[in-house]
Amino acid sequence: MIIRFAILPLFLALHLSMCKKQESVSPSSQQANASATPAVASTPVVAASPKITKPVVDQTAQVIIFCYHRLVDKIRYPGTEITPAAFEAQMKELKDRGITVISMQDLLAWKRGEKNIPPRSAVVTFDDGWKSQYEVAWPIMKKYGYPFTMFIYTEGVRGGSLGGGEAITWEQLADMRDNGVDIEGHSATHQDLREGHTITLIAGGKRSRTKVTGPQYEQWMQNEVVGSKQLLEQRLGIKVNCFAVPFGNYNEHVKEIARNSGYEAMFTVYGQPITFTSSMDSIGRYAIEANKPKVFEDAVKMIATSTGGGAAVAEVGAKDLATQPADGETVRTALPLIKANLSAVGQIEPGSVQMRVSGLGVVPANYDPKSGTVSYQVTQKLHEKSCGVIISAKSQGKKVEAHWTFGIEEGAAGGASPVPPPKK
């Protein structure tokens, strides 16, 4: 039997830039384990804590990811700069349009099927590690309570071979880390990672332009993709699982090296709404440029206009809610404890949870927002052999509903008190 969740509907770049903190270099510019409590077949009153087999995530949700660079009052490089006022207006617009800014790690957890996200979400990222991201962008993000991600190329941090006066410092990154900012990888020297491209090698303060191929290329890549990740992880004591490809330029080999290096997701700058099935190794971001405000507007419209048309109905097995009694189970008491765990459904509005029991109507069920458990101990004996339960709640403004049925053993209905479980 199936529990139907009418979760409603929903539906639904380029980083290029030149990363110039210092001249010279650089070219142009995500289970709870299965044992869903085998439903305590014979002992309805002793409740094992419910476990979720697999959270029910909204597979129709959509996410747009933004990529920003420097925040400056006077735009000189429109491809990578934006004024603080324009930036803040965009953050406000997300809020006004009901688009929820979520963290990168929540996005990955959703992609893994582990966590639900609002139907229309956005992720905000900043590339290259500019101090204006710390000094200007961060306070604005704090003001709105938005989480965000920093993509850092390690040689571009202050003190590195490419980290000039406008670069962020390791101390600033540590401060961000301490306050929950997600810090991820963006290579070591921010160059085109595809084999055969001319790159700048820096050795002992000397720079040389060259093409590296074969073993020399592989060795260079190890430092760009693996070495930079290890440096971030060691210097900041963090786990890095995302990689933003410099300039968004990649090929299969680059992706393979990144995957083998332990990156869970790779990001490019070809913006598009991210769906549940979007590939994890080329996630597109919208690069916001000062002279192309339409990029932001279009991105927002991509998910803003796709209002949930047809009601998306997710069907899940009863055990996904760890219902007790289980769907289809027969219990030996007419006074069962009825429970379900709604945490798999997502954010539940606490006052909205309601339980109905056939023969009783609405019952004064107890909802614990912490555990997501809604429960009711039946106090008047149930008289029918079959009992139906309906639980409804609101999640993110949408009504969700679950139905299931359990049986009451003959003789127990309207009669006997709970029978203790047989000893094993």
CA-to-CA distance for 124 and 148, rounded, in angstroms? 5
**CB closer to Zn ion, 52 vs 287:** 287
- Rounded Cα–Cα distance for residues 338 and 322 (Å): 11
> Least separation, in Å, of the C-beta of 317 and Zn ion?
44
Shortest reach from residue 152's CB to Zn ion, in Å: 9
> In terms of CB distance, is 268 or 375 closer to Zn ion?
268
C-alpha to C-alpha distance for 161 and 381, rounded to whole angstroms: 76
For Zn ion, the closer CB: 19 or 64: 19
Sign for the pseudo-dihedral over CA of 100, 174, 23, 247: negative
Q: How far apart are CA 120 and CA 108, in angstroms?
A: 15
Q: Nearest CA to 54 among 234, 258, 277, 315? A: 315
Q: How far is the CB of 53 from Zn ion (least distance, A)?
A: 41
Task: List 331's β-bridge partners, or say none.
Answer: 408
Sequence-distant (≥ 6) Cβ neighbours of residue 231 within 8 angstroms: 154, 188
Classified as helix, coil or strand, 301 is: helix
The answer to whether 119 touches 58, Cβ cutoff 8 Å, is yes
CB of 238 to Zn ion, least distance (A): 19
State the minimum distance, in angstroms, from the CB of residue 79 to Zn ion.
11
Q: Considering the complex, state which of residue 127 and residue 155 has its C-beta at the smaller distance from Zn ion.
A: 127
Residue of closest CB approach to Zn ion: 127
Helices (H) and strands (E) in the chain, counts: 9, 22
Question: Smaller CB distance to Zn ion: residue 91 or 287?
Answer: 287
Residue 382 near residue 334, CB atoms below 8 Å: yes
Type of residue at 307:
T
Closest to Zn ion by CB, 53 vs 191, is: 191
Supply the minimum distance, in Å, between the C-beta of residue 242 and Zn ion: 13
Of 3 and 16, the one with the shorter C-beta distance to Zn ion is 16
Q: Given the rule CB under 5 A, which residues bind Zn ion?
A: 19, 127-128
Q: What is the smallest separation between the CB atom of 216 and Zn ion, expressed in angstroms?
A: 24
